[in-house]
Structures are given as C-alpha cells and as structure tokens.
A and B are shown apart, each in its own frame.
Chain A
Amino acid sequence: MAGFGPATAQTVGDTPVRGGILNANIQTEPVGLNSAINPTMFIGEVASKIMEGLVAFDADLKPVPALATRWDVSPDGLTVSFDLRKGVKWHDGKDFTAADVEFTLKEVWQKLHPFGRSAFGNVTEVETPNPHRIVLRLSAPAPYLLSYINAYGAQLLPKHLYEGTDIVNNPYNLKPVGTGPFVFKEWVKGSHIRVERNPDYWQKGQPYLDGIVFRFIPDAAARVVALQSGEVDVSVGSALPATSLGQFGDASKYAFNLIEGNYLATIAFAQFNVRNAPLSDKRVRQALAHLIDKDALLKVVYLGYGKVATGPVPSSIANYYTSDTRRYPPDPERAAQLLDEAGYKADANGRRFKLRIITAAGNTQNARTAEFIKQALGKVGVDVEIQVPDFATFLRRVFTEQDYDLMVSSMHRMPDPTLGVQRIFWTQNIRKGVPWTNGSGYSNPRLDAIMEQAAREADETKRKAQIREWQQIVQEDVPLLELVEPQWYTVSTVRFRKLALQGDGLFSNWADAWLEPKK
C-alpha cells in the first residue's frame, strides 16, 4: 500500500505531550480482561494496557524487554532463563516477583490457556533462584516459546489474588490488577471501560496519557462517524469497514498504522472438507485452486488492504516464510482438464457437481469471499450454495458435525508455525467438537513427521528447512485455499502519536502514546 506510506509515519512522533484522556474504540466489547486464559483479541487489546508480559515485539517482531530485562536459551535448547525487572509493583502495592511468573506459568498458561498448553508444554521444572530470576527446564527444545511471552500470548497474573481461587471465574478477571502503565478504573457493560494513569509505573515519566476510555460501538457505520466527529481518537484493529477508509484519506487529519497486527499473522482462507467426495480427490482441489484469481479477490473484497497469500505461513513471518511453493495461477482450462481427469466431466448442461460453502454471519469480507468463489467455480460448471448461519451454528456445522464442503474464514497463524499453523494440518489435531482444530480432516503422515520434528528442533537452520518443506507439501495437497493475508489497520486522528511502532502493536501498552494538543 504505497499510498499509505507517509500516513503511516505520522503515528510516530518524538516529542511526547503529557496529559489528556484518549478515547479509543475497538470492534467488540470483550467478555473479560484476562488474556492469560482467553486469547480473544478484543480482551488483549484492552487488557494489555493494564497487564504486562515478559517481553513485547518491535516492528520486526523481535522481542524487546518488558517485565523481563534479559533472557537466555542454552545451546541445547533445554534451559530458558529470564532476569526480571526490579522494583516493579502490582497496582495494589505488592511486589512483582518470580513467584508470580512461576504461578502464572504452572497454574494458568499450562493448564488453562489454549496455546499455552502447547507453548509451555515442554516445561517440566521451574526454578526461582532469587525473586528476580526464573529458570525453565525443558524436556525437549521449544524454539517457539520466545514468540509467545508478550502481554497477549502470556499475560502475567498476580499470584496473591489468584492462588487457590477458581481462576476462570475469579472476580479480578473483570477488574484486573496488573503492573502496566494504566490502572483499571471502571467497566460499564455495553458502554465503556475506563483506565487511569499508574503514577508508580516502572518506566519513569510514562505513561503520558492521564487515562484511556475504550468505547464500545456495535454498529460499524457509527464507528466511522465517531472517529469523524472526534468522539473517538483512535480506532484499533480494523474496527472500521474497509469500504469507509476512503473517508480518512486526508493525511492532515488522519493517520494509519498498518503493521500493528503483523504479530497475529492472519490469513483468510477457504477450507475443503476433504472427507467428502469429490473434494477428497487432490486433483479436484487443485482444479478449484486454479479457478480463484486471488489478485482480483484482494482488490474486490479487501479493497487492496492486504497481500495475496502463497502458502500456510504468511509473508510477515519472514523467518520461516518461503515463496518457493506451488502456485495455482487462474486458469479455467487447466481446471476443467484436471476435473475431467478426476472423472468429474461436465454433463449435457455443462454442470459437474454441487458444493456448499459455509461462512459465519457478521463478517462482510468472508461473505463476499464466498460470493466471489461461487462466481469463479460456476465458470467450469461447479454449482455453489452459500450458507451463512450464526457463529455458534457455524462452529457446530464445521467442527462437530463436519457437515460442509467448503468453509470460508480467517485464522491467526501467529509468529511461530509450530503453534499457529501445525494445528490446521496435523492428523492428531483432528478433534471433533473443538473449534479451529484440523477441521478439513486432512491427514498426511509424511507432513506429520516433519511438523513434529520442527516442533523440537533446536537448530534454527534445520528448522527453517523443515518448515519450508512443510509449506511445499501443503501447497501441493491444498487442503486449504490460502487466499489473502489481510492487513490489520488502526486509524486515528493525527493527534494520536506513539514513540515507536510494534509488530504486536494491537497489544502494546500505550505507555508511550500521547495526544497532541487540539489545534
């Protein structure tokens, strides 16, 4: 998005101004504020201002210190140690120590967090030689571990308020006590959450803002007006419809930030139910892949906000991404030929077979993608019926009843393929009734072996090679059509500034954010 280059720069500044209340808007009101048990992004977008993690991720997704000041992985990959920041206090005045980290890791991340169970699964022993040092002993190397220790992937909880309680229903999940730059003040359900400056924040001089009000505006068009009328200063995490972004093109008034969601590494895709004929035939899936013009899809449905996806690992995960995978350029003739070979010849009316595309109601882009696919498939005689049930019904249909042919959705692939991507293709992760597991039913023992190897490979070069091969196998077998890497955008008035942009900026703590005085 070359046109947004200059605008992007405006979100960053170097002369902070103190004071002022920031009015922020996110897409959906969260259900709680505990990211340590629930990785819904709307929770993280708010909770990250109050609660912190061990590190944050900079614009290149490299870890930078937060509550950990140093970290170290032993050459065999079996010991990971952290030096913790000294003099940090929880908002209720108690000291933050290694005991808090140990407690959250063992009792919360390992037991309750859906990614945490895998991310910290190899951790067998935790040592705390002193209150500011913690050492993890691993049963096997866990090269992905350091990618999950920010405020979103591994939020730290105060041991003294959670120990011995029912953690899932702990009242502090709704009025969190953290170490972050902002202190929780109030939550009026259906309206807003308000946080205030933490006067004792460990980063001296920060935060610059007196407070933040997160306002919940359920209607997308009303969110657009709220930013235009100045009732909201910043709209986070693609909360505005892409079709409205043209209204914020005036760079003297509005600023865009387009890298803050890179950490999530989202890909929009269409997933085949490979249990069903004719989709069980690889040639049919390849044929359908040849029918989707992803460039056109990106332009028509995403209005250019994103990139064409070329495989299961998004290009923003530069460490592991490879462009050296099989491509399926739009080619209806080749598609027809593949379908003929597979035995699905066109009948007298030119029709071949019928598919049902399912997508959850409430997401315009997914619905339009389904329509786009329907048109494309119709060209070679594949009829499509689009079904758009509500979210709960959609989940049941896809993951429990497995009653669908093609599912359109998007998933966060996260910075490390072992945790974010393996789950989609791994045979052992075909788990009836569990959302966002391997819902296609795809199973390839050779790929399973490579993914399992990559999960415990300490040698970075070898691991890269394994993950490259994994991407190539998946693109050959196409259990999923990887369509678009949508770009997460944050739109603000030019008054909103930050000292630095972060790759996990949706979950940055905004200690370094400020509001320029009104002109």
Chain B
Amino acid sequence: MTRNRIPAVARFLRRRIWQVVPVVFGIALLNFLILQLAPGDVVDVLAGEAGAATPEYMAQLRASFGLDRPLPVQLAYYLKNTAMLDLGFSFRQNMPVLQLILERLPATLLLMIAAMGCAVVSGVVLGVISARFVHRAADRAVSVFVLVTYALPTFWLGLMAIVLFSARLGWLPSSGMTDIGADLGGFEYLWDVARHTVLPALSLATFYLAVYTKLVRTAMLEYFGADFIRTARAKGATETRITLFHALRNALLPLMTMLGLQLGSILSGAVLVESVFSWPGLGRLAFESILARDFNLLLGILLFSSVMVTILNIFVDVVYAVLDPRIEL
C-alpha cells in the first residue's frame, strides 16, 4: 500500500462503519420477529425435559423470564438492550449470554481458522499444480481427490477419521479440545490442543478445499493466456516466476471474494463437525439454543455474528485494495 492511500482507507472505514449500525439493527429486528414463528418456548422445553410440571410453576417461570409480557413490550426491551450492546441473560443456562459466547469463542476461532487456513493453503497449492500441469496426470489426480473429499459428508469423514486414528491406531484423541484429566501447562498444553485440533480441522477443511482448488485453477488458466503473461514470457521470465508472481497473484482475487463470503460462517461454527468431535464451539451452542427455544441466547449469538461478519467484510474490502492497486475504496 502506498503512502497516499492511507487517508483513503481511513475515509473508507469511517463511511463503512456508519453503515454497519442500521444493518445490524435491521438484522436484530428481523431475527427477533422470525423467531416468534417457532412453536413453543423455553419454559415448554424445560418442563418437557423435566418429565413433569405444574401449570403454576410454568406460569411462575414465564413471569420471571419476562415471557408473559405482550410481544411489542418484549420487542421494545430487546431493541433497547441491543442498542446498549447488552446481549441479555440465558435463563436456561443461568448465565449471561455474552459470557456464554465468549467462553465458546476461542474454540470456534481455533477450529475455523485452522480449517480455513488449511483449506486455503492446500487449495492454492493444488490449484497451482492443476493449472501448471493442466490435463495431465497430476491435474486429474488433484481433480479426483478434491471432488471425493467434497462429496463425502464432513460428519461421516470425521467419524471415519475418529474410528481410524483414535479407536484403531490410538494416535489422536477423539473428542474435546484438551485432555481434561491432565493439568498441563505451557508447551505441553499447546501440544495437547494441537493434537485435539488436527482431526476436526482437517475434516472441516475438506469441505472448503475443493472450491478453493477449482477457483485457483480456473483463474490461473485464464491468466496463462493473458497478454501480460505473454509479455512476461517474452521478457524471459522463468515459468516458475510467471506462475507464482504473475498468474497466482491475480488468481488470488476471486479466492478472496469466496473467502470473504465464507468468513461469515466462521462465527456460526460448524454444527456437525463440532458435534462429532465434541468441540465446545459456537455452532453447537446456537443449535442447542434453537432446540431449547433459548431465544435470548440465540439472538445474542446471531447479533454477535452479524456484527463480526460485517466487520470482516470491511476488512476483506481493504485486502482487495492491497492485492490489486487498481481497486478503489
């Protein structure tokens, strides 16, 4: 980025951040209204799970949770709390929503960043190989590989990985994020977490891998025929230099677009993979809060992710400009 672009970035950020406010508010309103369509409430589920209830107790719970108030009043309270960035209280879990989310956030970020990072790096490598050796054996092998991993359901792949690497071979732990029994510190702890992350991250990465590989391959093939590549060849640049510095850099743009879209899913987590690996992430928390009709918690998670997604999108726009100086902010 050149020096004179910095004020442009600042202006861009100021403008975009103001746009975030109405967007997030609209999302909050929509979330609240849509959730009202779901039959049953958190008290129904609590009483249903308990296996017995009395009408008096259910009425008492609804009153103490504020569910007996008319809908417009509940909505007003919710919007007021949203405006004050107060995510509320989960009556089911008996904890503040923000605390529940923050407890799960590190696990979610670790899993998703590891999975996406792994998918992007191997997607680029495989895409480059495919494009470089197009229609040759290497290209076909890559094609078959990514299509197979994409077609297999991630939860099934995860389960098979557990069966092989945990149950049969005993190399890697099957569930959780840490070895709960052992009190580890420092590097031992990091090593333990890394071992726990391998299988879920790799299983999840297979879901993204195929798309990235194919995107990079297609984009690079397009650029291989472009004028500026011919010029580079004419200048006598090596094929490696052309592939990596001329074609790949340009091919990264469509990749960024796709990544930007998918970053949104980082915070909503990955319900299936989290379930299979007992990973304490946000995806499962959201899923369970739907089943339990724990709408304070669900609304909190939705709001939190919508804020993060809008911010990440702004960030992606800035990265565009860095990759391609022609793009104006």
Contact = CB atoms under 8 A, between A and B. Distances in A.
A binds B: yes
Interface of A: 21, 23, 31-32, 38-41, 112, 114-115, 117, 166, 168-169, 171, 173-174, 188-192, 194, 213, 215-219, 221-222, 225-226, 228-229, 231, 362, 389-393, 395-397, 400, 411-412, 423, 431, 433-436
Nearest to B64: A168
Q: Which of B38, B54, B61, B155 has the most CB of A within 10 A?
A: B54
30 contacts: A31-B46, A115-B52, A168-B61, A173-B94, A174-B94, A191-B177, A192-B176, A213-B181, A218-B274, A218-B278, A219-B276, A221-B276, A222-B277, A222-B278, A225-B159, A225-B163, A229-B166, A229-B170, A231-B166, A231-B173, A231-B174, A391-B45, A391-B291, A392-B39, A392-B45, A395-B40, A395-B48, A411-B51, A423-B52, A435-B53
Nearest 3 interchain pairs by C-beta: A392-B40, A190-B280, A114-B52
B186 interface: no
Contact of B181 (A23, A114, A393, A400): A23
Nearest to B178: A191
Given A392-B39, A396-B39, A222 B174 contact: yes
B317 interface: no
A192 B175 CA distance: 11
B71 interface: no
Given A189-B93, A433-B58, A39 B50 contact: yes
Given A21-B181, A190-B285, A221-B159, A31 B53 contact: no
B282 to A, nearest CB: 9
A435 B55 contact: no
A423 to B, nearest CB: 7
A218 B176 CA distance: 11
Counting chain B CB atoms within 10 Å of each CB, the highest count among A190, A218, A395, A431 belongs to: A190
Given A117-B54, A391-B45, A434-B58, A191 B180 contact: yes
Given A168-B61, A433-B58, A436-B51, A396 B44 contact: yes
A115 B54 CA distance: 9
Contacts of B54: 114, 117, 434
Interface in B168-193: 170, 173-177, 180-181
Interface in B267-302: 274-278, 280-281, 284-285, 290-293
B176 to A, nearest CB: 6
A40 B51 CA distance: 7
Contacts of B57: 112, 114, 117
A365 B90 CA distance: 31
B162 interface: yes
Contacts of A171: 94
Given A117-B54, A392-B40, A435-B48, A215 B176 contact: yes
A32 B170 CA distance: 34
Nearest to B170: A229
Nearest to A173: B94
Contact of B52 (A112, A217, A433, A436): A436
B256 interface: no
B180 A213 contact: yes
A32 B181 contact: no
B47 interface: yes
A395 B175 contact: no
Interface of B: 38-41, 44-55, 57-58, 61, 64, 91-95, 100, 103-104, 107, 155, 159, 162-163, 166-167, 170, 173-177, 180-181, 274-278, 280-281, 284-285, 290-293
Contacts of A395: 40, 44-45, 47-48
A423 B180 CA distance: 42
Given A31-B92, A191-B176, 14 more contacts: A114-B50, A114-B51, A190-B104, A190-B107, A194-B180, A213-B180, A215-B180, A229-B170, A362-B291, A391-B48, A391-B49, A392-B293, A393-B39, A433-B55
A395 B48 CA distance: 7
Contacts of B61: 168
A39 B52 contact: yes
A400 B176 CA distance: 39
A194 B291 CA distance: 26
Nearest to A264: B51
Contacts of A390: 290-291
Contacts of B155: 219
Nearest to A389: B39
B122 to A, nearest CB: 26
Contacts of B173: 231
A24 B64 CA distance: 34
B291 A392 contact: yes
- Indicate the member of A229, A391, A412 with the most B CB atoms within 10 Å: A229
Given A115-B52, A191-B176, A226-B174, A434 B94 contact: no
Nearest to A231: B174
Contacts of B174: 222, 225-226, 229, 231
Given A40-B50, A192-B180, A225-B163, A219 B41 contact: no
Contacts of A392: 38-41, 44-45, 48, 291-293
Contacts of B103: 188-190
Contacts of B51: 39-41, 114, 411-412, 436
Contacts of B48: 391-392, 395, 435-436
